[in-house]
Amino acid sequence: MFDTPSPLPPLPGVGYKPQHYSAILNDPAPVGWLEVHAENYMGDGGRPLAQLRALAERFPISVHGVGLSIGGPERLDPDHLARLTHLVGWLNPASFSEHLAWSTHDSHFLNDLLPLPYTLTTLERICDHIDEVQEALGRPMLLENPSSYLAFAESTMSETDFLREVTRRTGCGLLLDVNNVFVSSVNLGYSPQDYITAFPMDAVGEIHLAGHDEDEDDFGAPLLIDSHGREVAEPVWALLDQVLKQSGPRPLLIEWDNDVPDWPVLAAEAQRAQAALSQGALPPSPSGRLPRDIFGQKKPGGGAHA
């Protein structure tokens, strides 16, 4: 009964919120697929599983885990991996993804995506964990780039080199979160365009977009917070255009997890994602490079979409 799942379509998707259940079934356009957090569907029954079963009859589903702690030094929690294997087994989703991050310490789950240094030691650890997950699930997974608020002095590899090596060693795909790239680049002072140029785009099976908040650090430097609580910021849309020129159309998700708006607001973001995908389907410009000033747009909400 286990068919090989079709991949996610290169269309806009949204992170599923139960309050949108009826609206999505009645008027999903332009949403072509849905993403759910794995851990919310690991109960024994009731409304969450009933809704997921009904949605899975209408939409390709992406299962996005937040609890495996792939980036942690401890071994993967065998109970949690078993729960995940069960969910992926019966749902047979189009995709499974997790994070380049950790969330469990001393068997305590901290409910956040926490960072790690990029070294040969952590590379080996991550690859071991991904091998274990892919073996348990019997399918390749996607690994998502994190949003960073700080750097580890001991890191010896760039994030893009680290991710490229992970895909090479494990055969996993990547989930490129463009908002995370922008947030990390501002917070750590590097060029997001250079990051995108260096990203192993062939491995990208899905793209994420989300909103962020603005704060500052001890020195008054901008510190962006990956809050998932508002519209996608203008510079992130601009960066997406660069991504799509490199990658071509890919499954493109809007994440909105806090202060979740009514369905029409989220659908409008998906509509804009659809427009970006159509635009990105055009052949790259002859120079093959983007103008360098796309990062120059300042505040979210200011100016027209490039």
Partner 1 sequence: MPEASTTEAAFRVGLLRADGAIPEGVTDGAGRPAGRRYDVYRNNVAVALREALETGFPAVAKLIGPENFARAAGLYLRRDPPETPLMMQYGASFAAFLEQIDALRGIGYLGDVARLELAMRRSYHAADAVPFDAGRLAALEDSTLRAARLILAPSVQVVRSPWPVLSVYRYTMLPDQPKPQARAEDVLITRPEFDPAPHLLPQGGAAFIDALRRGLTFGAALTAAGADFDLPATLTLLLQQGAISDLQTA
Residues near partner 1 (CB under 8 A) are: 39-40, 42-50, 66-69, 73-75, 77, 79-80, 83, 103-112, 114-117, 119, 121-122, 124-125, 128, 149-154, 187-190, 215, 217-219, 221, 223, 225
Provide the minimum distance between the beta carbon of 248 and partner 1 in the complex, in angstroms, as a whole number.
31
Residue 61: φ, ψ to 5°: -115, 135
Q: 288: helix, coil or strand?
A: coil
β partners of residue 255: 210
CB of 138 to partner 1, least distance (A): 21
Minimum distance, C-beta of residue 235 to partner 1, in the bound complex (Å): 17
Strand partners for 64: 37, 97
Which residue number, 68 or 244, has a Cβ lying nearer to partner 1? 68
Which C-beta is closer to partner 1: that of 27 or that of 74? 74
102-105 and 108-114 beta bridge pairing? antiparallel
Which helix H or strand E contains 25, and what residues bound it?
Answer: helix 21-26
CB of 59 to partner 1, least distance (A): 20
Q: Which is nearer to partner 1, 114 or 306 (CB)?
A: 114
Give the DSSP H or E segment for 192.
helix 192-198
Toward partner 1, which CB reaches closer, 66 or 157?
A: 66
Compute the distance between CA of residue 208 and CA of residue 299 in angstroms, rounded to an integer. Answer: 20
H-assigned helices in 203-281: 234-247, 263-280
The helix (H) or strand (E) run that includes residue 78 is helix 78-91
Give strand pairing partners of 36: 63
- In the bound state with partner 1, the residue whose beta carbon lies nearer, of 76 and 276, is 76
Question: Closest separation between CB of residue 221 and partner 1, Å?
Answer: 7
